[in-house]
Structure 1
């Protein structure tokens, strides 16, 4: 920097505006430093010879000598107007720094002032001000003293903490509210998913129950088999055999009462008397003969033939059936025939039971209908009527185990062990509940003419209803021979029995005919038994012409009628 200035301005002074980059350029003043606010400080320099003074350009008419009094007066007026001047920007950032008010009385040479802009100082040379008294400075030298900067000259403004906390609180509130909304959405999605899962499980469970109960289309094998969809081995059944004994006309009727606790369904399975069973001695026999022999042989033979587990046998004589209907009140049944009164003394009297729908039956009428077999009817017709009466009795019986037990005890029956009054009453109460709810059916076990179970019976009633496995007597066993004595002589049937047993055949008692026949007959029904029939005739000493094809008792393979030509061996 030059220590001297030409015509009031130096090399580093101001141009046309009267200001320079480093300080004021008036003649006689030089820059000596900066105050604590960064403003330049000048002092009056001693006069010196300037060899370049004559070469300087003449001063422009618009420029005047720097007048400290005018300068101070100008800034004094500006301080009164705005109370705030303009500051010097030492970092050249373009921002204006606050300055300090000036003394209204005039210019204070001991203070430093911010450099005004060109527009504000355009007319400063025309203003008068007090003479400047520069501060004493260091000895003149070729270069001015280096400015002294201190850390307290710079101030840093920090944002108020309250505003920062408010912003943080607002951000935290916004973040928390967003999180709550997201959490609410997640919970809503979870609820929807859970609801969908529950509905799906309910739908699957309902469909599974319908499938299990056999109510879905295509899943039921028929009206008599509600539990067809469930494996037979996985079902739990309670089974009791009931034997109706006709104490007046003779004969028996047998049915199995089945309570399927798995499918909640009850069934009355009617068993034809011609059903072929295996006796205690291993010989073929019929159901009728097994029942006549006692409850235990019959139950054992049925378990063997049907693969069931019968829990007990209930012997129901016709007088007890009549009392049972009278105890529970009358029953209603759709009858299929007019049943005469067995006690009627004259022909042409009104029938005891009329044919028709919803016929009211008393105890006496119920017994007459259950044991009735019309002229020319098969044994199955009478068995079906017995099943109707049993189903209606169960519907009318109490569903309360204690009430049903009281009814059984009132009858005064002597039950065959291991069945007790309480066991029978509880079992009948469960069936009564199913019968009242409509989950109860009656079916007949189909058998062939020979009394054997066919494939239909094995796959239907035996397997699905009873949960058992049909087992017919072995055809390779000894040939069963049914023998009826028509000789008119006593002891002929006994002698024939010994002869047949010694020959390896099974003897079936056929009784004694009411009349006599002159010739004997040996009959077979199946062509496969033709040779067996010829062997029987030979064993009994009958001619080969006595062998013929015809009808045979259900439990026998060969039927023999002994005539007067039969000569027992001695």
Structure 2
């Protein structure tokens, strides 16, 4: 091998060739030498930095130096001369003490010479000697420029570290994606549950509103269940229509059921038996005329079990103005109504019979008060109810707008009902009428003016939420009527007149033959005044009253003759 021997063993190339023999290479490709006997005198050790021969290792020394003895790594007996180290050559180097033989395994030899072992080999590591220092122009050592790549502790990136980082990023991203997918799934599930709940609630609410939910529907509440009869809230006012042209009144209750959102007009026949403030029996028509609004309201509350909040007196001129203010009404008419102001008979009717007829104020008043010959009193009352519902459909649903309409009428209201209260109440009913949640019902009354069981079930209990309580008929004067006038319709007209006057009507049938004059008979002297009052009520002269025999179940008996002329109010 011609390579230079490592300077750490202290010999140059010639000494190396004389002391060792190359015998091969190890498994790492490094040369292996065999020690041989020295053939020459010791040579000077290799000094790569030496410029001059002298003592010791002085890379920067400028003075004379001596050649040190040869370096013997295997203890051949030669004692190397080791001068003391003076890096800057400041003083004279002193000879070093004789060194012990070199033991390559870290043990000091026991003698100055180590016996040679046959075929002994030594592994010579390849070490790089110290580089010669650079010098500047003056010859002095130059400052070294250290670079980062010269230091072994500087870490160099490799491919494996990037792979690990990529794998960690992939794992982290995949975990985040899984968590994000789970969060989205949970959000969609919550949204789906909320949507289904809203649909279910809306469906149940619609079924309840449409009356298709058993036990909880609106229709079920209206059929007289405990909830409908007891827990419902109703606002009620009474309206009296006064016919200023022909006389007479028509009465109705306006009901706003705030629980079921249902509005109703309850028509009250004038023959309804009431009890006045003195405890005497009377009728609705007579109570309105004699007792006024306050007394009639209290009497109705007693009979119907209601709580009427106020009275609205509506004279026919005000009804005409009201219809004109709302812009006419559209209703289905059931009769041709003549024009009351027409001077000639056979003139064209003011109101024509038919569906969806448009009525002005004047036409509405004529239709609401019209009663044809031979018709029952309730026929006219039902027409009044049609007009009232038509007005409500055209009334403003805004409380302030409805109040303005009421104030524009300039009518004198009952002290218990102000313009604002009436306007707000009518606005609520108008909203129900426009939505189709409004109806008209007639209170059934028997011939004697009392309420039937049908009335208690269908109207008083369900619509008004009250309890019917007719006055004791024993306190009313019972009048038996026999028709001998030859006009069949006179029986019904007499009944209406008597009931409205506060009497109890008893049908005595029709006489076999006609009588020229009418008679009023009483059997008990105590009933003379009552008989006289009956004659006045029927429009008969007081001379027709006499004492005689009456029916078993009547206090006063009346025989209608040809002289009997029913009043226009009947």
TM-score by length of 1: 0.58
SS at match of 1:465: coil
Give 1:397 shift. 2.3
- Distance in 2, matches of 1:343 and 1:255, equals 27
Q: 2:527 aligns with which of 483, 496, 499?
A: 496
* Range with bigger deviation, 258-267 or 246-255: 258-267
Residue 336 to residue 488, structure 1, CA distance change in 2 (3 Å):
closer
Q: Deviations over 1:127-163 (max 9, x none)?
A: xxx933599xxxxxxxxxxxxxxxxxxxxxxxx9997
1:325 alignment counterpart = 323
Classify 1:399/1:542 alpha carbon distance in 2 versus 1 (closer, same or farther; 3 Å).
same
Change in 2 beyond 3 A, CA 1:512/1:269: closer
Residues 438-453 of structure 1: pairs in structure 2 closer than 5 A = 438-453=436-451
**In structure 2, which of residues 302, 305, 318 is the aligned counterpart of residue 304 of structure 1?**
302
Counterpart pick for 1:401 among 392, 399, 402: 399
Displacement of 1:371 in angstroms is 0.7
Checking the alignment, whether the CA contact within 8 Å between 1:482 and 1:508 is kept in structure 2 is: no
Kindly report which structure 2 residues correspond to 1:49-64, keeping only aligned pairs within 5 A, or say none.
Answer: none
Tell me the equivalent position of 2:293.
295
Which of 426, 430, 433 pairs up with 1:432? 430
Distance in 2 separating the partners of 1:211 and 1:353: 41
Segments of structure 2 that go 5 or more residues without pairing to the other structure are 1-19, 37-72, 75-102, 106-116, 123-155, 480-497, 504-516, 561-570
Q: Deviations over 1:432-487 (max 9, x none)?
A: 22222322222222233333333333333223322x22222365x74432358999
Map of 1:547 onto structure 2: 551
Say if 1:134 and 1:513 are closer, same or farther in 2 by CA, change over 3 A.
closer
**One of 259, 270, 274 as aligned partner of 1:273:** 270
| Contact kept? 2:337, 2:370, Cα under 8 Å | yes
Q: Distance in 2 between matches of 1:353 and 1:446?
A: 28
Closer/same/farther in 2, CA of residues 509 and 316 from structure 1, 3 Å limit? farther
CA distance 1:499–1:242, shift in 2 (3 Å) = closer
Question: Which residue, out of 118, 126, 142, partners 1:131?
Answer: 118
SS at match of 1:471: coil
Seen in structure 2, the aligned counterparts of structure 1 residues 203 and 517 have a Cα distance that, compared at 3 Å, is: farther
Correspondence for 1:552: none
Q: Which runs of 5+ in 1 are unaligned?
A: 1-71, 85-100, 113-129, 136-159, 501-506, 521-540, 550-557, 565-570
Which residues in structure 2 correspond to 1:19-34 (within 5 Å)?
A: none
SS at match of 2:331: strand
2:488 maps to: none
Task: State the partner residue of 1:460.
Answer: 458
Instruction: Indicate conservation of the 8 Å contact 2:535/2:542, yes or no.
Output: no
Counterpart CA distance in 2 for 1:472 and 1:361 is 39
Tell me which of 532, 537, 545 is aligned to 1:511. Answer: 537
| 1:313 Cα offset (Å) | 0.3
After superposition, the Cα gap between the structure-2 partners of 1:207 and 1:359, relative to the gap in structure 1 and judged at 3 Å, is same
Is contact 2:274–2:299 with CA below 8 Å preserved after alignment?
yes
Work out the CA distance in 1 between the residues paired with 2:536 and 2:543.
Answer: 15
Alpha carbons of structure 1 residues 330 and 227: separation in structure 2 relative to 1, 3 Å: farther
Asked whether the 8 Å contact 1:242–1:315 carries over to 2, the reply is yes
Q: Which residue of structure 2 aligns with residue 561 of structure 1?
A: 557
* Alpha-carbon shift at residue 389 of structure 1 (Å): 0.7
Stretch deviating more after TM superposition (422-431 or 366-375): 422-431
In 2 relative to 1, CA 517–548 (structure 1 residues): closer, same or farther, beyond 3 Å?
A: farther
Displacement of 1:296 in angstroms is 0.6
Give matches, 1:208-247, under 5 Å: 208-212=205-209, 214=211, 231-247=228-244
Offset of 1:197 from its aligned partner? Answer: 4.0
**SS of aligned partner of 2:462:** helix
Structure 1 residue 404, shift from structure 2 partner: 2.2
Q: CA RMSD in A?
A: 4.5
With normalisation by structure 2, the TM-score equals 0.58
Equivalent residue number for residue 103 of structure 1: 32
Corresponding residue to 2:28 among 80, 83, 99: 83
**Residue equivalent to 1:368:** 366
Q: Which residue of 2 aligns with 1:174?
A: 171
SS of structure 1 residue aligned to 2:317: helix
| Structure 2 residue aligned with 1:421 | 419
Tell me what 2:128 maps to: none
Corresponding residue for residue 473 of structure 1: 470
Contact 2:518 2:558 in 1 (8 A): yes
> Is the contact between residue 488 and residue 515 of structure 1 (CA under 8 Å) also seen in structure 2?
no
Partner of 1:338: 336
* Rounded Cα–Cα distance in structure 2 between residues aligned with 1:282 and 1:170: 103
- Residue pair 1:244, 1:315 contacting (<8 A) in 2 also: yes
CA offset at residue 192 of structure 1? 1.2
Secondary structure at the counterpart of residue 199 of structure 1: helix
Report if the CA contact (8 A) 1:219-1:228 is conserved: no
Instruction: Determine the structure 2 residue equivalent to 1:527.
Output: none
SS of the equivalent of 1:459 reads helix
1:211-255: CA deviation from partner (whole Å, max 9, x where unpaired): 145355897686995998963433332211110011122211111
In structure 2, the residue matched to 1:286 is 283
Q: Decide which moves more: 488-497 or 447-456.
A: 488-497
